[in-house]
Structure 1
Amino acid sequence: MKKLGAITIGQSPRVDVTPEMLPFLTEFQVVEKGALDGLGPEELAALAPKPGENVLPVSGAGGSAEGLPGTRGGQA
């Protein structure tokens, strides 16, 4: 079976998105990975946007809503 990678800027699994796609991807084994996978609550809190920073909305594990800074240190 072919594999299809699904990458998210938040945490995986994306319980709000992936189940909707699976019926159309029956010929694939879907593998989900997130940029924030493996981070604990303290590490996620350290990444929280500071007042005045742009917010990049992301999903946490299990579909929880999180926010990350959209820019940090002058970099887009």
Structure 2
Amino acid sequence: LKEGRHGLDLKAANAELRFLPGSDLLLEVEARLSSLEVEGAWTRAPGGYRLGEGRAVLRVRAFASNLEVEA
């Protein structure tokens, strides 16, 4: 992801997100009753995590889910 706004809603699900080199995004996460694991070159940002300059935005809402994010 390099530009634009994107979204992912998880309800009682498992998801593994792997971002390719060159991705540039802000990951906004809202997790309730969920587990979150973030690995790689991410930095903490208000409301989530940033990879690169954060030009694209991915908003993830997770309820009773497991989310793994890797860059």
Answer whether TM exceeds 0.5 for this pair.
no
Larger helix percent = 1
Q: TM-score, normalised to structure 1's length?
A: 0.25
Specify the structure having the higher radius of gyration (Cα): 1
Larger strand percent = 2
Q: TM-score, normalised to structure 2's length?
A: 0.26
